[in-house]
Structure 1
Amino acid sequence: MSHSEKFIAALRQIQKNGQVNPELNSSLNAEEKELLENLLQKGLVDESLKFLDQLDIDNDWNLVKKRLQTIKPIRSIAPSILKYAAILIGLITATYFLYNANLNTTEDSNPADVITLKIGGEDVKVIDQGENQEIVAANGLVVGTQKGDILIYDQNDEIEELIYNELAVPYGKIFNLELSDGTIVHLNAGSSIRYPINFIKNHNREVFLNGEAYFKVAKDADHPFIVSAGEVAVEVLGTEFNVSSYEEDSEINTVLVEGSVRMRDASISGQNLILEPGFKGAFNKSDHTIGKAAVDLDLHTSWVKGELVFRKSEFNSMIRKIERRYNVTITNNKEELNQKKFNARFHVDIESIHDVMQSISNVTPFEYTIEANENVIIN
């Protein structure tokens, strides 16, 4: 446990029990013990932890220490207590402004590592997967709620025009969405979806996908559900299917789990394909052809459960999926690996990027390094 972690752990114990347990107390120095006692007597424990609980202190600690280097020693009848009190005040102040600066930067620039919700094409909101909150339209009307890792929209007959929200999920995360008709959407890493906050009578239920999503479509024979994914449109009445339409991939794929879908080239009215469960429809972006083949559904839908499954998969194709799900960059300097095929299964909540690379290198030996930011270099 680091220096900062010990001190903060002691603060938490004082907050909960009014004292520090003997084992942790023995790991603190005399000045820290005096400071903790002083904070307890002055009722500053809750105030101190209010901001610290919101931050990963270890990641911010070095920045805070640099900020604290400018503070001059304070000398008085209780120099040790005042010196550490000044440090704590400086820590709280610095982390408070650091937190708010980061929050403002996140909301303004929408960095690539946060989930964002664009409301009505203008306001952009950062979505924290640990929060519960109301989703409010640009006109102030509450249209749904966030419950942890899912946004749930309510059907509202008062809304008589198509108003769109756009949900974007970065690499390293997945997120869930329930549309106003009850359709469930699981959105994969590195994907975004644009959808109406409320489906309107006498209009098709159409959403726009960039990336990959698994759909469980609510049945409504009078209002076909259409997924527009680049140059492909997938039309259904009620079914479960997966659509993958990443910009960097050479194909747009639809895999049907149950029900029936029609996959068509959005630019060529006569070219379409009806899929049966267990089949994949593939649209080639280069020559605009559509073909289908029977597939192992697990290979294409296991990501919803947090798994990456590969069967006779070329290494260069595996890299793209690993990068998206683990939010890393893999630089492969060993080109002969690209065409090698592998069978593998990983669970992103159990196996780290190191576990993944170690497992693959056990099959076909190669050397790799993982940098501090977890990016991978293969040599």
Structure 2
Amino acid sequence: MRDLKFIDLFAGLGGFHIALESLGHTCVFASEINEDLRLLYKTNHGIDCAGDINAIEVAKIPAHDVICAGFPCQPFSKAGKQNGLNDVNNGNFFNKIMEIADYHTPEYIFLENVPNLRGHDGGNTWKYIHEKLSIEYEVSEQTMSPHIFGVPQHRSRFYIVCRLKSKGGLEHFKFPEGNFKGTLSINTIIEENPEEYTSIRKDSLNQLEVWQEFLDNIKSEEVPRFPIWAMEFGADYPFEEVAPIKQNVKDLKKYKGQFGKKIEGHSLDELLACLPNYAQTDQKEFPHWKKYYIRANREFYAKHKKWLDKWIPKILDFENSHQKLEWNCGNKIPLIINDKIIQFRPSGIRIKMPNFSPTLVINSTQIPVFPWLGRYMTPREAARLQCMDELKEFPTTTAKAFRAFGNAVNVCVVKNIAKNLLK
């Protein structure tokens, strides 16, 4: 394999750097807007890291063979506003990449983003990007996740590889298959005796105990395939045709709101406050999925009313999102929480099998929890999920570390693609 020169744009913790350097290639320039990460880049990779790429003249960037860029995904992510290329803060970075490519004409371009990039704006965003790249380059793209290489994390990302048509294009390139056949287990990345970790709070442990009691009252075959929205237990406010906010005030007073409490008040605002927060929307009509969840929870309550009425008081003081439960483990295993992976999410307490981690996200409030260990995932374990365990230093706080790892490219996936690409 040749010794190629590459640049690392939107470098973060340097996932592209680790992958390509391990294959014998040399980084000649890096750019990252976050000052803390720039300092870490110097510490971990031994080269200076420039700031905002938009403030750098392309002529001052060293000549190179490969552009690597995990360009900001927020404009295209389903979790964001999806402003795409029109995003004021992050939407113009692809055009900067093209400006660099047009000036330096590197042989390869290697990009990473969220899967939603392909379908954003009805496919128009990807059409624009593909057309720009295709002027000089042959382009190939694929969505991949590290779990296919044996890393216990489901993390689908959209990878784009390009090679100059004048150099032969991608005639001999093929994305790696990643045919890992073993059994994934989160235990392969867990630290045995971490020096620093965050314990589960007592109130969180109590919430899990209360939800375990809920599961103890049902059979495995009865476990809901829909999210449990406990606020619907006892509620009967109308929702099928018109959303509550569009209903008559006098009529709403005839019904029961969350947890079966009577809807009371002297204004529509006061009446709506008696409903679950997801029912207080400005929509004229609820989407079909929301109607289904409400309907399914009410049917579940009707079937289990006898014991649920005794259980409900234990959950009334929980914060809103913790009054919801998402059991993502199927119905063929014992309904036990303590040996599963937990996430406290805005959508509810999510319970997953311990074979692989949920996708690492930049929001530190959603760090995976290992209840059998009584603690949250550590930054070192997050590094292992991103195949970055060799880094000398991590961001200083847990929140900063998980934000950085949540934004990072997965080294294992990048390395496997690069092996096939940079021959």
Q: TM-score, normalised by structure 1?
A: 0.28
Calculate the TM-score normalised by the size of structure 2: 0.26
Q: Higher helix proportion, which one?
A: 2
Q: Would you tell me which structure has more strand in proportion to its own residues?
A: 1
Structure with the bigger RCO (C-alpha within 8 Å, sep 6+) is 2
Larger radius of gyration: 1
